């Protein structure tokens, strides 16, 4: 992804998977929201209990291109579309939710598991609280109806009775008169209409019958009438009721947001979750859509509300990501930090280019593993614990799947990927580094999501395919067939997956020092380009770049722009020799990373990123 997903919220040891958005409720609103967010390349989980409000109805109406479709069929089609863009589904119920100190939410599921979300979209709809008339609930959605726009056409011309249970009864009777001229208003427990209401009913030929309804009459499985307390039966083929519309407030209520009364003509006719036009509530990060927010919304309107809420959620995430990116840009790695890392890891081998005559540079095949085990063994801790910034920028927001991290070092990137929900295979040549990485994964609570493998990529490449294959700073002072490894990495990308290659584009440039005759490297040729990793705080550059048993890349021929022999993104792309028409270029850029020199002087380092997507088969 080109955006940053919010950092995982909650304690580091929390193993609950993290999503950009968890949608609670898999009806029209929830599925439309999930589809919109998934198309925005967000990671989305829909939690649904499989009990849609309109399940008893024969068909959904007023939904362009889907008019008359059975409700379950509409949901199945919508779900399939959302799944096609990577939305995940979980059958179950959310027992409760809590806000996390670092932002986002943790949802406890009824089966005892949990998930985390940066944002929540609640689309759980409402409950129709029906009048307590024997036999009425059993016929709900069949011939006991409420909405003429949903059922009026099917009841056209038939005798219809309207059961008065609230202030909307007269309005309902007048509406249904549009579909049939045989409408009867049953007063049931309501007062008799007076004034203009009574006059309007008389003018339209709507009969008004007093008496409480006590049961329904049926024949051959169909409604034939309503039985009153005095023994009379009012003939009808459809009975219209106005249920109390009560929002399902479970998740919002657990976050302190209780449903509020819905009032009509001074009478409470239901409840809803208060929200603005986009569905945003008073709880930051919580949106509602569909009948939970607007009880009068029809299916097509609920779907539209889901789309609006999803767009607002994505915009909110983007705003947060921009703020975080700007903060990171304004926060250069400090001179003191730079010196500490250099001295702790490299000693006198400071940033610069490798001296071919340096006896510390291993040259013999087979010596790489021992070399890097020894190097890692010099200290008990090398990395900073933060992931590579370019990796975070490029991968955040992608739907988690299977990832292969080439040259994982002490595990910062693998741990970050696992925290986003990826199942990671992390490869390195150093057993010392891998043991350390496994410890860090256990500390972060993601060890179950990472398989660490010791391998010399120059000799053997892991078998299998992955949704993400990444190689961060795959440079080395040890000989490395880099092009061949990256070509094999491309082959390991599954259809629809991503290949990410992040590297240095050249040496760092310190400010000119007095007496160096313009040579910024004077007195500092103590290592290879990888020692100048611009993003030092993310993982120790010296070890992350070499933990592979590598041979030196063949780049450096015509067109290579720097004396370090480091390729441009275009050169990396060309060297992959990808089949025509099978890949999509997503990112190819070079940029200057701010950094500091070993003595605290400001400097920059050119880095580059290449990201490609393998097109689905």
- Rounded-to-10 torsion of CA 207, 208, 209, 212: 140
Helix (H, G, I), strand (E, B) or coil at 439: helix
CB 492 within 8 A of CB 582: no
Residue 37: CB atoms within 10 Å: 30
Instruction: State the residue for tokens 């209990």.
Output: 49
Whether 616 and 493 have beta carbons less than 8 Å apart is answered as: no
Does 6 reside within a domain? no
What is d(CA 196, CA 173) in angstroms, rounded to the nearest whole number?
Answer: 14
In-domain check, residue 344: no
Instruction: Give the C-alpha separation, 89 to 83, whole Å.
Output: 8
- CA distances in angstroms from 330 to 18, 395, 603, listed in the order given: 27, 21, 14
Residue with tokens 């739907």: 399
Same domain? For 179 and 90 the reply is no
Q: pLDDT tens digit string along 397-427?
A: 888 999 999 999 889 999 999 999 999 999 9
pLDDT tens digits for 538-574? 333 333 333 333 322 333 333 334 445 688 899 999 9
The per-residue pLDDT of the chain, averaged, comes to 81
289-327 pLDDT tens trace = 999 999 889 999 999 999 999 999 999 999 998 888 787
What separation, in Å, do the N-terminal and C-terminal C-alpha atoms of the chain show?
Answer: 20
Q: State mean pLDDT over 249-260.
A: 92
Strand order in the sheet with 222-228: 213-219, 222-228, 233-235
Please report, for the domain that includes residue 136, its CATH number: 3.50.50.60
Q: Please give the backbone phi and psi of residue 472, each rounded to the nearest 5 degrees, phi first.
A: -100, 120
Per-residue pLDDT tens digits for 486-538:
999 999 999 999 999 998 887 776 533 444 433 333 333 322 333 222 232 23
Residues 144 and 162 placed together within one structural domain of the fold:
yes
Same domain for 439 and 316: no
Q: Domain boundary at 222, 242, 262, which?
A: 242
* Pair (406, 537) in one structural domain: yes
| Alpha helical stretches, state H, 504-567 | 541-544
C-alpha 133, offset from chain centre: 45
Task: HSE, CB side, 13 Å, CA atoms: give it for residue 186.
Answer: 29
Instruction: Show which of 217, 242, 267 is a domain's final residue.
Output: 242
Hey, what are 326's tokens? 């700007």
CA 597 to mean position of chain CA atoms: 39
Q: Which of 323, 341, 375 is the endpoint of a domain? A: 323
Strands 493-504 and 602-614 come out as antiparallel
485 and 384 both lie in a single domain: yes
**Same-domain pairing of 272 and 224:** no
Domain that holds residue 111: 18-124+245-323
Average pLDDT over residues 163-188: 93
């Amino acid at each position: 992804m080109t955006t940053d997903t919010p950092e995982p919220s909650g304690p580091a040891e929390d193993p609950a998977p993290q999503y950009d958005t968890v949608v609670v409720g898999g009806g029209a609103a929830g599925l439309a929201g999930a589809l919109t967010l998934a198309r925005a390349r967000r990671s989305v989980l829909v939690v649904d209990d499989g009990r849609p409000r309109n399940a008893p109805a024969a068909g959904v109406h007023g939904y362009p291109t889907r008019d008359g479709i059975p409700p379950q069929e509409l949901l199945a089609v919508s779900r399939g579309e959302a799944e096609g863009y990577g939305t995940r589904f979980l059958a179950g119920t959310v027992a409760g939710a809590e806000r996390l100190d670092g932002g986002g939410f943790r949802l406890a599921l009824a089966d005892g598991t949990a998930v985390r979300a940066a944002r929540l979209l609640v689309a759980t709809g409402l409950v129709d609280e029906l009048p307590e008339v024997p036999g009425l609930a059993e016929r709900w959605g069949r011939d006991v109806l409420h909405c003429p726009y949903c059922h009026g056409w099917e009841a056209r011309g038939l005798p219809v009775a309207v059961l008065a249970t609230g202030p909307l009864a007269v309005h309902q009777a007048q509406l249904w008169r549009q579909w049939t001229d045989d409408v009867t208003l049953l007063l049931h427990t309501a007062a008799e209409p007076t004034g203009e209401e009574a006059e309007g009913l008389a003018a339209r030929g709507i009969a008004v019958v007093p008496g409480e309804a006590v049961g329904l009459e049926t024949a051959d499985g169909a409604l034939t009438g309503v039985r009153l307390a005095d023994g009379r039966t009012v003939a009808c083929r459809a009975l219209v009721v106005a249920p109390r519309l009560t929002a399902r407030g479970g998740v919002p209520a657990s976050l302190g947001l209780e449903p509020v009364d819905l009032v009509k003509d001074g009478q409470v006719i239901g409840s809803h979750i208060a929200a603005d036009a986009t569905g945003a509530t008073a709880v930051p990060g919580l949106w509602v859509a569909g009948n939970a927010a607007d009880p009068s919304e029809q299916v097509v309107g609920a779907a539209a509300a889901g789309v609006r809420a999803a767009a607002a959620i994505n915009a909110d995430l983007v705003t947060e990501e921009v703020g975080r990116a700007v903060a990171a840009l304004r926060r250069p790695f400090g001179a003191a930090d730079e010196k500490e890392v250099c001295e702790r890891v490299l000693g006198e081998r400071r940033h610069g280019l490798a001296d071919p005559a340096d006896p510390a540079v291993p040259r013999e095949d087979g010596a790489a593993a021992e070399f890097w085990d020894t190097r890692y063994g010099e200290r008990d801790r090398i990395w900073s614990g933060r992931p590579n910034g370019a990796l975070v920028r490029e991968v955040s927001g992608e739907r988690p799947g299977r990832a292969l991290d080439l040259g994982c070092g002490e595990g910062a990137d693998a741990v970050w990927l696992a925290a986003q929900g990826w199942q990671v295979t992390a490869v390195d040549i150093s057993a010392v580094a891998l043991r350390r990485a496994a410890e860090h994964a256990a500390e972060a609570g993601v060890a179950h999501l990472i398989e660490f493998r010791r391998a010399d990529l120059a000799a053997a490449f892991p078998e299998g395919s992955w949704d993400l294959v990444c190689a961060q700073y795959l440079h080395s002072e040890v000989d490395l067939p880099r092009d061949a490894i990256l070509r094999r990495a491309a082959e390991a990308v599954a259809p629809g997956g991503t290949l990410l290659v992040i590297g240095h584009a050249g040496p760092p440039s310190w400010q000119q020092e007095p007496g160096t005759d313009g040579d910024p490297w004077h007195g500092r040729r103590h290592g290879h380009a990888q020692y100048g990793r611009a993003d030092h705080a993310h993982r120790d550059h010296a070890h992350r770049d070499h933990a592979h048993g590598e041979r030196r890349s063949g780049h450096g021929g015509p067109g290579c722009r720097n004396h370090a022999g480091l390729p441009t993104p275009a050169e990396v792309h060309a060297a992959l020799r990808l089949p025509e028409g099978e890949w999509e270029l997503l990112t190819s850029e070079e940029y200057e990373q701010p950094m500091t020199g070993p003595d605290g002087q400001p400097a920059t380092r050119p880095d580059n990123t290449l990201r490609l997507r393998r097109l689905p088969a």
